[in-house]
Amino acid sequence: MIENDRARNGRSVEVVGTYNPRTNPASVNLNRERIDYWTSKGAQMSEIVAKLFAKTPVAA
C-alpha cells in the first residue's frame, strides 16, 4: 500500500486476513470480497500475500 492508504499512525486501514504458521498445517483465513475490493481500488499484494491468496481455496 502507498502511504496515503495507511492510517495516520502507520497501521493498516483494514485487516483482510490472517495467517497462523503455528498450526499444522498453517491456517490462512482471507476475506476474498474485501481483497477484491481493495485490489479494484489499486492496492497491490506483496509476493508472499499473492502466493497465499493463490494457494487458499475459495470457501463454498
Over residues 25-49, the pLDDT tens digits come to 888 888 999 999 999 999 888 898 8
* pLDDT above 80: residue 8: no
The pLDDT of residue 9 is 65
Residue of 56 and 44 predicted with greater confidence: 44
d(CA 11, CA 32): 20
Q: Could you tell me the residue ranges of all domains in the chain? A: 3-55
User: Does pLDDT of 60 surpass 60?
Assistant: no
What pTM was estimated for this model as a whole?
A: 0.66
The secondary structure element, H or E, covering residue 47 is helix 47-55
Alpha carbons 45 and 32: distance in angstroms, whole number: 13
- Pick from 1, 45, 21: which is nearest to 54 by CA? 45
pLDDT score for 1 = 43
